[in-house]
Amino acid sequence: MKNMDRRKFVKDSLKITAVAAVGSSILMNSEDASAAAVGLQFAQVTLPYAFNALEPNIDALTMEIHYTKHHTAYVKNVNEAIAAEKISFATEKEFFANASKLSMKARNNGGGSWNHNFFWQVMKPGAGTPSGKVTDAINGAFSSFDKFKDQFSQAAIGRFGSGWAWLVNDGGKLKIGSTPNQDNPMMDVSELKGTPLLCLDVWEHAYYLKYQNKRADYVAAWWNVVNWDEVAKRMI
């Protein structure tokens, strides 16, 4: 076999192997993935800044462990659950809308994957300020930015145990609330419903190295790194 032919043979053989191994969720390039018609898979977004970019509000070590250990594990585990349980929803939206039918492994890790992808994006280095559109919507719903901030902070501080605080758009109405564990407001099991506009992770893994038991201090510092441009993009 000539060199070129051998290379083509090897390439084609690998493709066949990839298609046959879909059930075990191996890594494939996009050409092979589409040929095999793989269903929904979760992916981890690239962190839009360096681990130390949110210092001193969020320390570099916390960011590194949070992103490379906790978040990576959620993504790996949800994709394992999708493969093992043959979950075949086409979109993340559909996946969450059917959360009540999912195993706890799929629900918790699917939520963990999505929530963290969103969380990284709604933060950025440097203190930002809300834009006109966001300010108007917040003032309309909560009467002032300070009242909004208080209510959101209370949702974050008051969530017992692990969970998330959220600002959501529920049918054109802005609402603040929290969810336990890795649930989110797109899940049918969630009491708080709506499209997420902003979120804050209040699991101890998000702040314990720097803030220990002082969750309120972490929440207060977090306002310095909110990416209001991302909130504005999601606000209708």
The binding site for Mn ion (CB under 5 A) comprises 201, 203, 206
Nearest Cα neighbor of 220 from 166, 168, 118, 152 is 152
In angstroms, the Cα distances linking 110 to 56, 77, 80, 97, 107 are 30, 8, 11, 12, 5
Angle (CA) 231-148-122 rounded to 5° is: 25
CB of 123 to Mn ion, least distance (A): 12
CB of 142 to Mn ion, least distance (A): 26
CB 32 within 8 A of CB 15: yes
Q: Which amino acid is at 95?
A: F
Residue nearest to Mn ion (CB): 201
CB 111 within 8 A of CB 164: no
Cβ closest to Mn ion, residue 148 vs residue 152:
152
Cβ closest to Mn ion, residue 183 vs residue 201:
201
CB of 31 to Mn ion, least distance (A): 34
CB of 107 to Mn ion, least distance (A): 16
Cβ closest to Mn ion, residue 89 vs residue 114:
114
CB of 89 to Mn ion, least distance (A): 23
Cβ closest to Mn ion, residue 138 vs residue 200:
200
Cβ closest to Mn ion, residue 18 vs residue 226:
226
Assign 3-state DSSP to the chain and report helix, strand, coil percentages, each to 5. 55, 10, 35
